[in-house]
Amino acid sequence: MTSPASNPVLTYGRMIKFSHSIFAMPFALSAAVLASRTHPVTATQVALIVGCMVTARSCAMGVNRIVDRAYDAKNPRTAIREIPSGQISLNTARALATTAAILFIVLAALLNPLCGALSPIALAIICGYSYAKRYTAFVHLWLGVSLGIAPVAVWIALTGSVATVALILAGAVATWVAGFDILYSLQDEGFDRGEGLHSIPVALGQKGAMLTSALLHVATIGLLAIIPHFSTLGLGYWAGFAVITGVLTYEHAIVKPGDLSRIDKAFFDLNGYVSLLFFAGVCAGTWVG
């Protein structure tokens, strides 16, 4: 019997940081809630959307770990990752990423023909992120767009069209993700510079990167603030919005130039709260008032 520690599927789950699904999934489901106000939404559609989110992310993260394996092996922070440490073979990672891609395309096609036709484009965008840091400091925005297309994709899946509110939500997700990814990448500024890789911290230094991150999150807050003008939401949404604003402000207060000791808390804990708070706010603003 294969032990949990040696099970390649479980190891792959750890490799792709499955727990980080908390970042994009609530925003995708929020788009479904907003779309449900004008279009009927079935349990089957929701299940297919969740399946698409999981498989697309699994494929993208798998590709990221595969193409970055040489860099990960050199970087002391990432050398313990599953491929460079030998916990999962390159062929197994490739097979699982390919399987996830195929499942994503199939699930997207089951939602509607347009989603099926667009699914390879979506995969190209989210998998292309893995190569971006070799060429541009705007790699963080590429990651933001990769997650930001989720609300638009959900809207297309449920309505067959794109609405302004979905585009605004996509922009909010993109700026939010890019902002916190800049903070996270501060940990690798020295390594990236030495390897000739690109990032905002490499281009602008710690202070410039932190300012850029803060400005992106100001944009996030601004975009979230105008969503109710395009899809009427009650006080429950504004309560969630207020807490999100406080969380993002706190995130920037605990990460300071020369002190990156709280990066993990800022990256995972606080941003996990942001996505869940937004989903709760949309639900409350839609169904409670």
Q: What is the pLDDT of residues 119-158, one digit of tens each?
A: 999 999 999 999 999 999 999 999 999 999 999 999 999 9
Q: Is residue 3 part of a domain?
A: no
Range of the domain at 72: 8-287
Q: Is residue 2 part of a domain?
A: no
Nearest alpha-carbon partner for 60 in 145, 155, 117: 145
Q: Is residue 1 part of a domain?
A: no
For residue 249, the domain's CATH number is: 1.10.357.140
Nearest alpha-carbon partner for 274 in 256, 249, 257: 249
| DSSP-based three-state secondary structure for 261 | coil
Mean model confidence pLDDT for the chain = 91
Q: Is residue 241 part of a domain?
A: yes
Q: Is residue 13 part of a domain?
A: yes
Per-residue pLDDT, 3: 46
Q: What is the pTM of this model?
A: 0.91
Domains in the chain: how many in total?
Answer: 1
Which stretches of the chain drop beneath a pLDDT of 70? 1-9, 12, 16-21, 289
Per-residue pLDDT, 212: 98
What phi-psi label fits residue 80: left (phi over 0), alpha (psi between -120 and 50 degrees) or beta?
A: alpha
Q: Which residue has the tokens 């809207």?
A: 155
